[in-house]
């Protein structure tokens, strides 16, 4: 896979960051790309446009004047799209922009200045957001909600994060399938590393997107994400993420009164039912009034507020209950590894003992497809292989290199290859199950071993990965010993299942 950040074009220097823009192809994307193309760019920062539309859709076209590469993330949500983007980057920083913002003309210059002045204890830098509101009338409920982005502590509309920090925590939690709380979750996990988040000087404009009458009702689905936040970060997560409590407790009270009223009516307690219904109605009226008062108060807005205020409390409560059921007991996100290393013989290709003949190389079923899935997700792949035949005088190093070249020809490019040429009796430091080859592969690519994975067919492969601090997955074949399978931390039936485990964040 082409490494983003190495094809910066004819700029005046090496870019310190890669720009990642997740998108579902909204019309606002064209305005963003035009603003980026027309802005002042002292360094030609590479742009990764991550198309998150599902299915067979017309490919997005890279914009002339920008070093744009288009990736696909398969409709898995903005968190997954951002993960595809940062995995494919190769710069020290990753800068995220939403596809509905407009950077100011000097945004690139200010971004580079923000990153250049960032001290080592700062893990992320966030831009300043301005939401333009109408000057000739009061703002609508939706416009006021969007304007809240101006004072949000941490939003993905414009943020830059150190790439090594993203790799260390596994990036964005892909269980957040909507653009709602994935940013706050990331902020809390980044701060748990002991570093802080700083404000930058760069600025963007976040226009208010067109919306229909029911947008505020659909937004209540985010209450399910609040339950995931609570499961992951505890009951005080709102205070630590600087997220307001809103009116959820009142929504629950209204819903409880309405549901209890129906139950009382069904059991013949009409007076109790009437009192509870009045209480629920009063709560809805107060809610509607609080939303109507600061708005324009025209007929359309008042009708919109009355209809949605009567339904939002029930939707908020329902989605919160749904989230509680789904996410209770949720474990911390680990994320896909930044680098996946594979054993060669018996794992990616059929084992031909002491093979020095490229013509004998035969990939195992599904090997190419498994590797391509990892590459498509932006992950780097490598090969670490014991070749004791060299040390024993059975093959030459040149022959082993020729076989590796044939493997690469059949299975696609590897970002790193490390080979141990020693015989077992030489007691070298690199032969698996010792971890040195895994550590060397990580060092060559600047990847922390904790952000890597090792996939192989023997206990030696698994031990090398585990001793290096990497994730280890065993893919047994007919010669794998039962005790090796029993001792492995993770076992996959084949390479496809191993990739499923790794992309799902098994650590």
- pLDDT above 60: residue 2: no
Distances (CA, A) of 95 to 19, 47, 114, 263, 458: 5, 9, 11, 53, 40
pLDDT digits over 315-360, tens only?
A: 999 999 999 999 999 989 989 999 999 999 999 999 999 999 999 9
- pLDDT above 50: residue 3: no
Structure tokens at 430: 């690199």
As beta bridge partners, residue 471 has 453
pLDDT digits over 171-210, tens only?
A: 999 999 988 899 999 999 999 999 999 999 999 999 999 9
Position 55 scores a pLDDT of: 85
Catalytic residue among 226, 345, 457, 461: 345
Is 173 catalytic? The answer is no
Position 5 scores a pLDDT of: 35
Q: How far apart are CA 88 and CA 156, in angstroms?
A: 18
Radius of gyration (C-alpha) of the chain in whole angstroms: 27
- pLDDT above 80: residue 6: no
What does DSSP say about strands 196-205 and 471-474: parallel, antiparallel, or unpaired? unpaired
Q: How far apart are CA 298 and CA 302, in angstroms?
A: 6
Supply φ then ψ for residue 486, to 5 degrees: -65, -30
- pLDDT above 50: residue 68: yes
Position 11 scores a pLDDT of: 42
Position 36 scores a pLDDT of: 92
Structure tokens at 343: 């054993």
Q: Which range (58-62, 265-269, 424-428, 468-472) has the least confidence?
A: 58-62
DSSP one-letter string for 86-149? HHHB-SSEEEEE-TT-EE-TTHHHHHHHHHHT--TTEEEEEEEEE----SSSPPPHHHHHHHGG
Is 345 catalytic? The answer is yes
DSSP one-letter string for 164-200? HHHHHHTSS-TT--SSSSHHHHHHHHHHTTT-EEEEE
- pLDDT above 70: residue 43: yes
Torsion, CA 396, CA 402, CA 404, CA 405, rounded to 10: 160
Identify the three-state secondary structure at position 468: helix
- pLDDT above 70: residue 35: yes
Distances (CA, A) of 453 to 93, 165, 225, 296, 472: 22, 17, 29, 56, 6
pLDDT digits over 377-396, tens only?
A: 889 999 999 999 999 999 99
Region 224-234: what's the mean pLDDT?
Answer: 96
- pLDDT above 50: residue 1: no
Position 244 scores a pLDDT of: 82
Q: How far apart are CA 278 and CA 287, in angstroms?
A: 14
- pLDDT above 60: residue 476: yes
Q: What residue ranges define each of the domains in the chain, with the CATH number in brackets? A: 17-211 (3.90.550.10), 212-331 (no CATH), 339-503 (3.40.50.1000)
Q: How far apart are CA 188 and CA 154, in angstroms?
A: 10
Structure tokens at 419: 């080979």
Position 13 scores a pLDDT of: 65
Catalytic residue among 185, 225, 343, 415: 343
Position 156 scores a pLDDT of: 87
pLDDT digits over 203-227, tens only?
A: 999 999 999 999 999 999 999 999 9
- Whether the CB-CB separation of 67 and 3 falls below 8 Å is answered with no
Position 39 scores a pLDDT of: 87
What is the distance between the terminal CA atoms of the chain, rounded to a whole angstrom? 24
Per-chain mean pLDDT for the chain: 92
């Amino acid at each position: 896979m082409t490494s983003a950040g190495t094809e910066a074009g004819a700029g005046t220097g090496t870019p310190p960051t890669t720009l990642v823009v997740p998108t579902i192809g909204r019309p606002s994307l064209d305005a963003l790309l035009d603003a980026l193309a027309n802005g002042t760019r002292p360094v030609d920062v590479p742009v990764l446009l991550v198309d998150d539309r599902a299915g067979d859709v017309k490919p997005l076209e890279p914009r002339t004047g920008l070093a744009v590469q288009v990736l696909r993330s398969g409709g898995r949500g903005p968190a997954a799209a951002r993960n595809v983007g940062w995995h494919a980057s190769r710069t020290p920083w990753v800068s995220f922009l939403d596809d509905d913002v407009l950077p100011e003309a000097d945004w690139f210059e200010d971004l580079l200045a923000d990153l250049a002045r960032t001290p080592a204890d700062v893990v992320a830098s966030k831009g300043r957001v301005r939401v333009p509101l109408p000057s000739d009338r009061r703002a609508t409920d939706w416009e006021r909600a969007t304007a809240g982005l101006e004072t949000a502590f941490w939003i993905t509309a414009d943020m830059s994060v150190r790439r090594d920090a993203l790799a260390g925590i596994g990036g964005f939690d892909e269980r957040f399938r909507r653009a709602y709380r994935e940013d706050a979750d990331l902020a809390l996990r980044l701060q748990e590393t002991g570093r802080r988040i700083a404000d930058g000087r760069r600025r963007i404009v976040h226009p208010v997107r067109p919306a229909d009458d029911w947008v505020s009702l659909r937004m209540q689905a985010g209450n399910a994400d609040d339950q995931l936040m609570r499961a992951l970060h505890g009951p005080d997560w709102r205070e630590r993420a600087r997220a307001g409590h809103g009116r959820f407790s009142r929504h629950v009270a209204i819903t409880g009164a309405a549901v209890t009223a129906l139950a009382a009516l069904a059991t013949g307690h009409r007076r109790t039912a009437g009192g509870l219904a009045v209480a629920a109605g009063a709560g809805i009226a107060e809610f509607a009034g609080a939303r109507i008062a600061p708005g324009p108060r025209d007929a359309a807005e008042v009708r919109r507020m009355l209809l949605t205020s009567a339904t939002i409390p029930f939707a908020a409560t329902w989605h919160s209950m749904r989230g509680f059921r789904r996410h209770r007991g949720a474990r911390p996100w680990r994320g896909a590894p930044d680098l996946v290393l594979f054993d060669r013989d018996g794992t990616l290709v059929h084992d031909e003992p002491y093979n020095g003949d490229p013509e004998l190389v035969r990939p195992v079923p599904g090997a190419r497809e498994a590797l391509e899935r990892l590459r498509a997700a932006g992950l780097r792949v490598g090969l670490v292989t014991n070749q004791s035949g060299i040390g024993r005088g059975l093959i030459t190093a040149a022959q082993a290199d020729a076989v590796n070249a044939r493997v690469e020809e059949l299975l696609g490019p590897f970002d790193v290859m490390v080979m141990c040429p020693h015989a077992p009796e030489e007691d070298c430091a690199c032969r698996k199950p010792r971890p040195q080859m895994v550590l060397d592969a990580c060092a060559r690519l600047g990847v922390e071993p904790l952000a890597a994975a090792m996939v192989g067919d023997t206990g030696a492969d698994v031990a090398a990965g585990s001793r290096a601090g990497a994730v280890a997955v065993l893919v047994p074949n007919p010669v794998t010993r039962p005790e090796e399978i029993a001792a492995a931390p993770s076992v996959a039936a084949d390479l496809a299942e191993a990739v499923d485990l790794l992309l799902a964040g098994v650590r």
